[in-house]
Amino acid sequence: DSGVTQTPKHLITATGQRVTLRCSPRSGDLSVYWYQQSLDQGLQFLIQYYNGEERAKGNILERFSAQQFPDLHSELNLSSLELGDSALYFCASSGGGSTEAFFGQGTRLTVV
């Protein structure tokens, strides 16, 4: 168990809808990272938050947004969903001077 919790584990929704993925980082970790894993794009970094503030942005679509709350949990919001957004979405956290990031179990999103 990595200590990073993601909910829900599975999500099936229709095109055009909006969903929210939730992540609770390991205790004490201030950084949260979101990744998307799809068959055609592989594993891609989306966005990073550090202690409530956006720190780095990767290949995140404008239809996607994220935030980190005062209790350090983070949410990734995906809107106007398309079939191509179907993927495994990972949250990872790091902190305390450690070099490695620890990943949650992922949320498998299926858009139908």
Partner 1 sequence: AQKITQTQPGMFVQEKEAVTLDCTYDTSDPSYGLFWYKQPSSGEMIFLIYQGSYDQQNATEGRYSLNFQKARKSANLVISASQLGDSAMYFCAMSRAGGTSYGKLTFGQGTILTVHP
Binding site for partner 1 (CB under 8 A): 2, 30-31, 33, 35, 42-45, 48, 50, 55-56, 58, 88, 90, 92-94, 98-106, 108
Task: Considering the complex, state which of residue 55 and residue 79 has its C-beta at the smaller distance from partner 1.
Answer: 55
State the nearest-atom distance from the C-beta of 20 to partner 1, in Å: 20
Cα–chain center distance at 89 = 6
State the nearest-atom distance from the C-beta of 16 to partner 1, in Å: 26
Q: What is the 3-state secondary structure (H, E, C) of 11-42?
A: EEECCCCCEEEEEECCCCCCEEEEEEEECCCE
State the nearest-atom distance from the C-beta of 17 to partner 1, in Å: 23
